[in-house]
Amino acid sequence: MMIKYIFLMAITTYLIRMLPLTLFQKEIKNKYIKRVLYYTPYACLTAMTVPAIFYSTSSVLSALAGFAVALVLGYQKKSLPKVAIFACVTVFLVERLMGL
């Protein structure tokens, strides 16, 4: 039974990757479709990440503080590890201060 599920997922994954290569052999010239295809990964990543930010801490206030720090540092084009470390430290400090 489990082999069927693995096989079905393998076919699904293969089709998702193979179909665009076979259907779109010529360059896409439509500006609207190009924009949609360009921004789709960013939109999906945002849709998965933002809710996780606000539900991963014990308080929405600490999550907001960490999110704000990450936005500011990201806007300043800091490296991803630096942004992540400072956002995590901010969440930790805000949760400690709220516990007092």
Give tens-digit pLDDT for 62-94.
Answer: 999 999 999 999 999 999 999 999 999 999 999
Provide DSSP, 5-40. HHHHHHHHHHHHHHHHHHH--SPP--HHHHHHHHHH
Q: Read off the pTM.
A: 0.63
pLDDT over 90 at 9, yes or no? yes
Q: Is the pLDDT reported for residue 36 higher than 70?
A: yes
CA distance 2 to 16: 21
